[in-house]
Amino acid sequence: MKTPRRAGVTAIHSAFQFCFSVPDLSVAEVYYKQFGLKVDHQGDRLALATYHSPHTWGYVLDGRGQKKRLEYLTLGAYAEDLDDLQRQTMANGAKPADAHPSSVTSDGFWIRDPDNNLLQIAVREKVTPNEKAKGNAILYKENAIKVPIAHARGETPQVRPQRLSHILLFSTDVARSVAFYSDALGLRLSDKSADIVAFTHGAHSSDHHLLAFLKSSAPGLHHTSWAVANLDEVGLGMEQMLAAGHKEGWGVGRHVIGSNYFYYVRDPWGSFTEYSYDIDFIGVETQWPAADYLPESSLYLWGPGVPEYFGENTEATSA
């Protein structure tokens, strides 16, 4: 299958992996299993995958009692672009960096962004979608008379996300982050709201946002977002996590920017893990008309009110 490529653009194509550390790895193992991910305990780290592919989407490191911290991101590129990307990043203010001491691989090149986030740019398989996902039908159970009948409570299987959709980072200067990730790494502005939040997509096709940035006093990881098969699974994911004891979160609702249906679970470290369905898709031929939404009408079309803690950056506060 031919890989999609926007002509004349040097850009990363995927948010290939994330890595962060948490105070207690055993708590993280339980949490991500409850969320529906496939968790492989590998010594002092967890490898997070879905049950739909063997790809490792992220690593969680043992922070040995220290507060949660974003460690690094691995961003995937085509082999023919790697050298040009390195020159492009250096020309746009990237700081050369050493590989993370706990990284599984150290290939490609490593840089720091303007917020001092550590990034690995390396040749990787494209793991962002090449076309808009086709959702499954709303969930019904099989029955003899072939009439759609919903499952009873407690009869549904565990919700298991299909893939990582996007990552949202805290940023001390959202406009500066967008400029860097656009000019240095080839991402494109999708939409934004004032200087509060901005969303960027991959030039070589991706969901409406691949990386997004939310204003804060310090860098950090706000949430990872995981695509599920239908709207039912967003709601069932909420029920699944509430039943597991995770009472804080936001949703179910529908976003304005990106259009996706959502439920955010607040994790044990104060950040979030999102169930997401039906996000907008931006193909290689699409010239997306980036908009600047008013803050009061940008976050959600419908749903419950935003909890006060939703924008809290626990990486900027004391443990």
Lowest pLDDT segment from 144-153, 195-204, 218-227: 144-153
Tens of pLDDT, residue by residue over 221-256, are 999 999 999 999 999 999 999 999 999 999 999 999
Give strand pairing partners of 56. 49
| Nearest Cα residue to 167 out of 289, 36, 58, 310 | 58
**Per-residue confidence band for 153, with pLDDT thresholds at 50, 70 and 90:** confident
Local structure of 266: helix, strand or coil: strand
Q: Which residues contact 38 (CB under 8 A, 6 or more apart)?
A: 48, 49, 50, 51
Q: What is d(CA 113, CA 94) in angstroms, rounded to the nearest whole number? A: 6
Percent pLDDT > 70 in the chain is 94
pLDDT (0 to 100) of residue 1:
56
Question: What is the reported pTM?
Answer: 0.95
CATH of span 14-124+143-316: 3.10.180.10
What are the backbone dihedrals phi and psi of residue 289, each rounded to the nearest 5 degrees, phi first?
-85, 85
CA atoms within 13 A on the CB side of 172: 10
The encoded tokens of residue 108 equal 């490609």
Q: Please give the average per-residue pLDDT across 186-200, as a whole number.
A: 98
Q: How far apart are CA 48 and CA 36, in angstroms?
A: 10
**Identity of residue 232:** D
Statement: residue 280 has pLDDT above 90: yes
- Residue boundaries of the structural domains of the chain: 14-124+143-316
The whole-number pLDDT of residue 141 equals 66
Q: What is the pLDDT of residues 104-149, one digit of tens each?
A: 999 999 999 999 999 999 999 999 999 998 776 666 666 666 666 6
7, two tokens: 């002509």
Q: Which of 191, 197, 209 is nearest to 262 (CA)?
A: 209
- Residue 33 DSSP one-character state: H
Measured CA to CA, the distance from residue 26 to residue 13 in angstroms comes to 33
Segment 281-300 mean pLDDT = 94
Amino acid symbol at 147: V
Q: What CA–CA distances, in Å, run from 215 to 49, 152, 181, 201?
A: 29, 42, 15, 18
Q: Show Cβ contacts of residue 274 under 8 Å, excluding neighbours closer than 6 positions.
A: 165, 223, 224, 225, 226, 262, 263, 264, 265
Q: How far is Cα 270 from Cα 25, in angstroms, rounded to an integer?
A: 15
Is the pLDDT confidence value at 319 over 70?
Answer: no
Q: Are 205 and 4 in contact (CB under 8 A)?
A: yes
Residues in the chain: 319
**Mean pLDDT calculated for residue range 41-51:** 96
173 pLDDT more than 50: yes
